[in-house]
């Protein structure tokens, strides 16, 4: 199996060195101290994942995420954040981040999150998932279209899976699953998991 390549972006040298030491045993790793340098490196070389801090001076992680999704949409982005910027991490998920790590990050958590993001990058395209789940989706009064990931979560919800089971099956963190569920509830105008299942039950007996 070919080694995957990871670009680490952080303006703190100690963080870059630490993460590189952790990941280089299993992946090819390069580092960048600024978002602008990271974009140049992404332009010149292939990377399977970008791992970036959110709080940086020249270009913060959110701005970098937007640029990566605009110029290199197939490259997943994993962001790191402190507890004080957790709301920013949630916003990052809305903008297309694959997942986020909360500092301080332990070795096991870093490996698990990186593996999740790389695994999820092999999933199918939006059109395929829309066709696959459209019939199930019709049972909900959804006013806004669901994203690819929300469609996956919704399908698993209909299968009766718990949040924890979804997290393991989809290889994402539990907070990420809860984030997508909240979006589904909001878009469909129903009150939580029980509300979704109630609508589905009433639909089946018609």
Q: What is the pLDDT of residues 97-146, one digit of tens each?
A: 888 888 877 888 899 889 888 887 754 444 444 444 444 455 555 556 77
Residues 6+ apart with CB under 8 A from 35: 9, 52, 56, 58, 59, 60, 61, 63, 64, 67
Q: Determine which helix (DSSP H) or strand (DSSP E) holds 184, and give its type and residue range.
A: helix 174-188
User: Tokens for 76?
Assistant: 């997943």
Q: Of all residues in the chain, what percent carry a pLDDT higher than 70?
A: 80
Judge contact between 116 and 172, C-beta under 8 A: yes
Looking at the DSSP bridge assignments, the partners of residue 53 are 80
Tell me what pLDDT residue 116 has. Answer: 83
pLDDT (tens digit per residue) in 141-180: 555 677 777 877 887 787 678 888 888 888 788 888 888 8
Q: Which of 88, 202, 200 is nearest to 139 (CA)?
A: 200
Can you say whether residue 10 is alpha, beta or left, with left for phi > 0 and alpha for psi between -120 and 50 degrees?
beta
- 6 near 29, Cβ under 8 Å? yes
Q: From CA 73, how far away is CA 161, in angstroms rounded?
A: 30
The pLDDT of residue 24 is 92
DSSP, collapsed to helix, strand or coil, labels residue 202 as: helix
**For a pLDDT cut of 90, what percent of the chain falls above it?**
34
Eight-class DSSP state of 29? E
pLDDT category of residue 48 using cuts at 50, 70 and 90: very high
């Amino acid at each position: 199996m070919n080694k995957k390549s990871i670009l680490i972006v952080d303006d703190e040298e100690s963080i870059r060195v630490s993460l590189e030491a952790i990941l280089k045993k299993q992946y090819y790793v390069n580092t960048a101290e600024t978002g602008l340098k990271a974009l140049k490196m992404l332009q010149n070389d292939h990377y399977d994942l970008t791992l970036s801090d959110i709080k940086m001076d020249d270009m913060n992680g959110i701005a970098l995420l937007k640029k990566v999704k605009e110029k290199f949409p197939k490259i997943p982005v994993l962001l790191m954040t402190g507890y004080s910027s957790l709301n920013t991490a949630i916003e990052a998920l809305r903008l297309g981040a694959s997942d986020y790590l909360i500092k301080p990050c332990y070795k096991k958590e870093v490996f698990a999150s990186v593996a999740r993001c790389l695994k999820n990058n092999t999933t199918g395209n939006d059109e395929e998932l829309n066709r696959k789940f459209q019939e199930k989706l019709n049972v909900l009064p959804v006013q806004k279209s669901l994203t690819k990931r929300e469609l996956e979560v919704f399908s698993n919800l209909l299968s009766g899976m718990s949040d924890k089971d979804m997290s393991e099956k989809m290889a994402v963190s539990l907070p990420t699953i809860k984030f997508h569920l909240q979006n589904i509830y909001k878009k469909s105008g129903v009150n939580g998991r029980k509300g979704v299942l109630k609508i589905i039950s009433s639909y089946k007996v018609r």
